[in-house]
């Protein structure tokens, strides 16, 4: 029997990268998974890769009406949620002098505001307890140029985990952040706008004690731990699956 047998999970940004790898691992461990993304074509590809025990819901998490649609679809199909993985995100670098209100709002709406209302709308479905996993980033404790809005939004999720772990303590709901290091996913390409991809990767490799980028499945394995009873005594914590980049 898998570590997540019988569980129902909602994974945002489940169409690629860490979200897709997590959805695949959750299904392998026995969960039924709902994945969300903005584009149906990408969700269709993800569905073919996951294969079974999965439903795709199209939605833009920066729009509150779309979060309502996601919650309603989960309620209609399963009526319960055991695990929330708030993973949807992007990286858009900008030096402080170049930051615009549009860049700031785009970043915070998806990665700081959306998790709040996603959890709020799904919370009534967590009536048998469960686990909330907020995907943050090692950058929330680091100082890396050109990531003002991104790092701050990820730091917000770390604060949410502490607050909600205390707030939900009587409901049997655990809340933790999962903070990946530099992971070899499509989102890495978006970090290469100010320099070539090879230069960006080299910069990070010089900082990572393990000496390589993470594979998405390695972060997904950490999510399985946080979503399962293997982490039954873990709440309010920050699991740094970062190759040591934020630790030394």
Kindly state the helix (H) or strand (E) to which residue 145 belongs, with its residue range: none
Cα separation, 241 vs 237, whole angstroms: 12
Residue length, the chain? 248
**118 burial class (0-12, 13-18, 19+ CB within 10 angstroms)?**
buried
Q: Of 142, 148, 137, nearest to 99 (Cα)?
A: 148
Cα separation, 135 vs 87, whole angstroms: 5
Catalytic annotation present for 32: no
Ordered DSSP codes for 75-89: HHHTS--SEEEE---
Residue of 32, 150, 160, 204 marked active site: 150
Cα separation, 62 vs 85, whole angstroms: 16
**206 burial class (0-12, 13-18, 19+ CB within 10 angstroms)?**
exposed
Cα separation, 34 vs 122, whole angstroms: 12
| Bridge partner list, 174 | 131
The catalytic site residues sit at 150
């Amino acid at each position: 029997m898998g570590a997540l047998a019988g569980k129902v999970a909602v994974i945002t940004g489940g169409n690629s990268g860490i979200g897709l790898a997590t959805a695949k691992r959750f299904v392998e461990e026995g969960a039924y998974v709902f994945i969300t993304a903005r584009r149906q074509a990408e969700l269709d590809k993800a569905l073919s890769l996951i294969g079974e025990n999965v439903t795709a819901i199209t939605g833009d998490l920066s729009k509150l009406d779309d979060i309502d649609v996601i919650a309603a679809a989960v309620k209609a199909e399963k009526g319960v949620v055991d695990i929330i993985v708030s993973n949807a995100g992007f990286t858009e670098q900008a030096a402080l002098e170049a930051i615009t209100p549009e860049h700031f709002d785009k970043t915070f709406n998806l990665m700081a505001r959306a998790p709040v209302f996603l959890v709020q709308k799904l919370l009534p479905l967590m009536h048998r307890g469960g686990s909330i996993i907020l995907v943050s980033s090692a950058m929330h404790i680091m100082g890396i140029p050109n990531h003002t809005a991104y790092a701050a939004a990820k730091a917000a999720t770390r604060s949410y985990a502490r607050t909600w772990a205390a707030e939900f303590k009587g409901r049997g709901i655990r809340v933790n952040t999962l903070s990946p290091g530099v992971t070899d996913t499509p989102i890495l390409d978006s970090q290469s706008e100010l320099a070539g991809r090879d230069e960006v990767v080299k910069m990070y490799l010089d900082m990572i004690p393990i000496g390589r980028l993470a594979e998405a499945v390695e972060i997904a394995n950490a999510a399985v731990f946080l979503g399962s009873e293997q982490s039954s005594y873990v709440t309010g914590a920050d699991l740094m699956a970062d190759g040591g980049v934020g630790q030394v």
